[in-house]
């Protein structure tokens, strides 16, 4: 099927007009947007109960897939309300999460005795994952300015048995902390969320009030400003030799590679380093050119995740070292 004969080309014109040149197998990408998101369950290792999510799925006679070898994460069948309402979920034995949203924490690889910052923490999927990788040791700081979202974050941290996390009620860019306080920082920044767009989300009963499929320059510019402010703060809070992971759930190079290039231009002691995810995670390299803008060759070390390659949310991940 060629793009010109694909009726989805017009339906998803936001992507067709802006991103077709760099998304591989673009027709397959468009068809993936017509499929619903799979349900992902990440088993929680912080609880003290004799529990196996795999055994539960087998006892329930539920079909499941293990997309990453060695990681207790499962794609399952059924309704979201079933898994979200299940007692084991309320007890914190597992967390409902998209596969690609596991990648930022896996890229950061926080150590058990490190000081780690999650700059945009709510609702807590990545925060609880970081705490799990840290084995509930060290210090994890989570920032969230919105009261309602902070309540959700606190509830998830409590439910998942997180003990090493301190919550700060402010924007990440307004954190009043000493410079070079953290060994590792995760900035899963505010973005246009294009990677979450699928037909079942944007149409019918679930249709959002705002038409996100229309490009809004004013909205995008405000995002770019906030992203730069957060990245500047992250740089100053990061120790020498520390790691910074910047991620978004969007395809827009202006929010992804262009933001990383902003950092490289401003701070010459930063380097984008390669990411080595499980080989079952099919990934595309970051861009070195887009719409007349040229980026450092280092950007090839960043990673793009597309839903027709990995059945999950579209994602961008870059890891930087501060030398």
pLDDT digits (tens, 9 = 90+) for 254-299: 999 999 999 999 999 999 999 988 777 899 999 999 999 999 999 9
Number of alpha carbons in the 13 Å side-chain half-sphere of residue 224: 15
Please state the separation of Cα 239 from the chain's center in Å.
Answer: 23
Contact between 84 and 104 (Cβ < 8 Å) = no
Q: In CATH terms, is domain 100-322 a member of 3.40.50.150? A: yes
Distance CA 297, CA 84 (A): 43
Which residues partner with 294 through β-bridges?
289
Query: Sign of dihedral through CA atoms 46, 48, 53, 54?
Result: positive
At 213 the pLDDT is: 84
Residues known to be catalytic:
249
H or E segment and range at residue 219: helix 217-237
Regions of the chain short of the pLDDT cut 50: 1-3, 206
Alpha-carbon distance 245 to 104, whole Å?
Answer: 7
What is the SS3 assignment for 116? strand
Helix (H) or strand (E) holding 107: helix 103-108
Q: Of 296, 260, 311, 322, which Cα lies nearest the Cα of 31?
A: 311
Enumerate the H helices of 112-244 as residue ranges. 125-133, 147-159, 199-202, 217-237
pLDDT at 4: 56
């Amino acid at each position: 099927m060629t793009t010109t004969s694909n009726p989805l080309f017009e339906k998803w014109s936001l992507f067709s007009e802006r991103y077709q040149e760099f998304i591989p197998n673009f027709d397959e990408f468009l068809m993936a947007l017509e499929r619903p998101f799979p349900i992902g369950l990440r088993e929680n290792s912080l609880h003290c109960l004799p529990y196996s999510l795999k055994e539960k799925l087998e006892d329930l006679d539920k079909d499941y897939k293990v997309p990453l070898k060695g990681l207790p994460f499962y794609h399952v069948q059924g309704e979201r309300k079933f898994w979200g309402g299940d007692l084991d979920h309320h007890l914190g034995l597992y967390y409902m999460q998209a596969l690609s949203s596991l990648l930022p924490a896996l890229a950061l690889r926080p150590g058990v005795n490190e000081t780690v910052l999650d700059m945009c923490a709510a609702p807590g999927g990545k925060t609880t994952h970081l705490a799990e990788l840290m084995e509930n040791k060290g210090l994890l700081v989570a920032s969230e300015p919105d009261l309602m979202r902070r309540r959700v974050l606190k509830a998830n941290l409590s439910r998942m048995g997180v003990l090493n996390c301190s919550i700060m009620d402010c924007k990440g860019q307004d954190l009043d902390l000493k410079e070079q306080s953290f060994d590792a920082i995760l900035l899963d920044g505010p973005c246009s969320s294009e990677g979450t767009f699928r037909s079942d989300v944007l149409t019918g009963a679930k249709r959002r009030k705002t038409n996100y499929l229309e490009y809004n320059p004013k909205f995008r510019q405000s995002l770019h400003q906030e992203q730069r402010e957060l990245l500047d703060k992250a740089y100053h809070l990061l120790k020498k030799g520390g790691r910074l992971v910047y991620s978004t759930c969007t395809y827009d190079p202006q929010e992804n590679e262009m933001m990383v290039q902003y950092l490289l231009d401003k701070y010459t002691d930063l380097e984008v380093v390669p990411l080595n995810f499980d080989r079952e995670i099919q990934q595309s390299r970051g861009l070195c050119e887009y719409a007349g803008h040229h980026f450092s060759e280092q950007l090839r070390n960043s990673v793009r995740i597309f839903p027709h390659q990995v059945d999950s949310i579209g994602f961008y991940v870059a890891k930087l070292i501060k030398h």
